Amino acid sequence: MKNNLKKSLYFLILFISVAKAQDFHGRAIYVSKQLNNVVFHVEGMSEEKAKELNEKMSKMFEKTFTLNFNKNESLYQQEQKLQESGSKAPNFGSDLDGELYKNIQSKKYLKAEEFANKNYLISDTLINYNWELKQETKKIGDYICYKAISIIKVTKKELEEYEAEKQKQTNNKTSFLNLEKPEDEIITVWYNPEIPVSQGPNKYWGLPGLIMEVNQKNLILLCSKVILNPKDKKIIKAPKKGKIISQSAYDLMEEEQFNKLKDENGAIHLN
């Protein structure tokens, strides 16, 4: 009788523990910053004006995001706020914008986007970052975080597009933007194993702990606050509004629209 009671208690405790683990959820707040995103060199513009313009461009990328997560799903959303001018800042397809749903069980994501006054749902497979785990640590807030890196190889298409644009600028003697030769990108992240979810901001995921900081090229995403098991639990639902499209098809659509803004010399007109 005692053995049966002990076994019953054991399985009851195990069941409660599993149920709690499955119900584990949280909320993380991230702040984005874009460093030297675009550097303008306009003929006749003073250094002071150029600096002011570039600072304004950088501030356009300073945004706040909320990541609601559980063991298997997450929903990443930008916190909306009015611009100083009272109008919406122009958006040229920033990867940071749009509501993003990730499911690490199915390894799929859905991203809600508005483009040319139409709603789209980008449906695709999560990127396999092949993270390389490091022993380096640093403190972010109250948490000890570990370093991981991933290398994104430059593609043949990116190199060909760079050479074509460089040749066009040379032929037309345009120098509106400084072109940078594409190179392999090293993504450096810091993750927190104390929060055992394989989630992170934007499309980042796949580590044994919540990703607290991301450094990729000129982009920084930094977690400023984490709330575990908040009372106002957010029900995580995948977005449903919009025409379903793959990431590559959506990118091509954006590229075609962006090219329409250019004249025969490659200069961009924002009329």
Would residue 11 be called left, alpha or beta, if left means φ above 0 and alpha means ψ between -120 and 50 degrees?
Answer: alpha
Q: Is 8 a member of any domain? A: no
Q: Is 265 a member of any domain? A: no
Whether residue 225 is predicted with pLDDT greater than 70 in this model: the reply is yes
Q: What pTM does this model have?
A: 0.76
What integer pLDDT is reported at residue 110 of this predicted model?
Answer: 96
Give the CATH number of the domain where residue 167 resides.
2.50.20
Domains of the chain: total: 1
What integer pLDDT is reported at residue 37 of this predicted model?
Answer: 47
pLDDT tens profile 5-31 = 444 333 333 333 333 445 789 999 999
- What is the chain's mean pLDDT, rounded? 80
Token digits of residue 236: 């995580």
Q: Is 186 a member of any domain? A: yes
Between 4 and 104, the more confident residue is 104
* Residue 51: domain span: 25-259
Whether residue 38 is predicted with pLDDT greater than 90 in this model: the reply is no
Between 78 and 88, the more confident residue is 78
Tell me the CA distances in angstroms from 171 to 40, 51, 167, one per residue in order.
20, 28, 6
Instruction: Kindly report which listed range (40-44, 98-102, 217-221, 260-264) carries the lowest average pLDDT score.
Output: 40-44
Q: Is 270 a member of any domain? A: no
For range 73-101, the mean pLDDT: 67
Q: Is 81 a member of any domain? A: yes
Whether residue 166 is predicted with pLDDT greater than 60 in this model: the reply is yes
Q: Is 264 a member of any domain? A: no
Q: Is 10 a member of any domain? A: no
What integer pLDDT is reported at residue 96 of this predicted model?
Answer: 62
Q: Is 60 a member of any domain? A: yes
Whether residue 181 is predicted with pLDDT greater than 50 in this model: the reply is yes
Between 6 and 261, the more confident residue is 261
Burial of 230 (0-12, 13-18, 19+ CB in 10 A): exposed
Residue 144 identity: I
In the structure, what pLDDT confidence band is assigned to residue 71 with cuts at 50, 70 and 90?
Answer: very high
